[in-house]
Amino acid sequence: MSEAVWIPIVIAVVVLGWFLGTYNGLVRLRQHIRESWRNIDVQLKRRYDLIPNLVETVKGYARHERELLERLIAARTKAAANHGPVASQEADERPVISSLRQVLALQERYPELKADRNFLALQEELVDTEDRIAAARRFFNGNVRDFNSRCQSIPSSIVASLFGFRVESFWEVEEASHRERPDVRI
């Protein structure tokens, strides 16, 4: 075979190889996003499991805070039931975080709550869980960043648009008060 025949074949193989590699890379990044979201989901479930215990512990001391505790349980129930897209779950998490901060702040009004071992243990678990959620969120957002960069960069954006890969949403914390880690030290 002559050189004129081999050149188009080599070019076609290289282009096909690039095309397949780019497609597989996008699929792999999308799977990383899904996996990292499941990691967030595990940590959120851990938080949801701790909340009823915290509420029961606080109930005994803070009888006048019934409305706050009910609001926290309602927010927890709604957020735990949401298995929709990131933006939807993010919206349902805001009231949980807000109510949880208020419940943890009750220790200032009820000094005897500061001495309760169950409350202290739950408080420590919640702080640990919030740290895990923050780490999982950073990992998730890093995967989204990498995927979105590939979807929007030329020439991989061509493959992304041909096969329907869409830019993913970051999990962002909107309110400045949520950007700060709660100080729950006693």
pLDDT band at residue 179, thresholds of 50, 70 and 90?
very low
pLDDT the model gives residue 178: 45
pLDDT (mean) for 88-94? 91
Following DSSP, what letter does each residue of 11-24 receive, concatenated? HHHHHHHHHHHHHH
- Across the range 37-55, mean pLDDT stands at 93
Domain ranges of the chain: 3-179
Give the burial class of 140: count Cβ atoms within 10 A of its Cβ; 0-12 exposed, 13-18 middle, 19 or more buried: buried
pLDDT at residue 176 in the model? 43
CATH superfamily of domain region 3-179: LemA-like domain (1.20.1440.20)
Task: Name 55's Cβ contacts closer than 8 Å, sequence gap at least 6.
Answer: 69, 72, 73, 103
Alpha carbon distance 166, 53 (integer Å)? 40
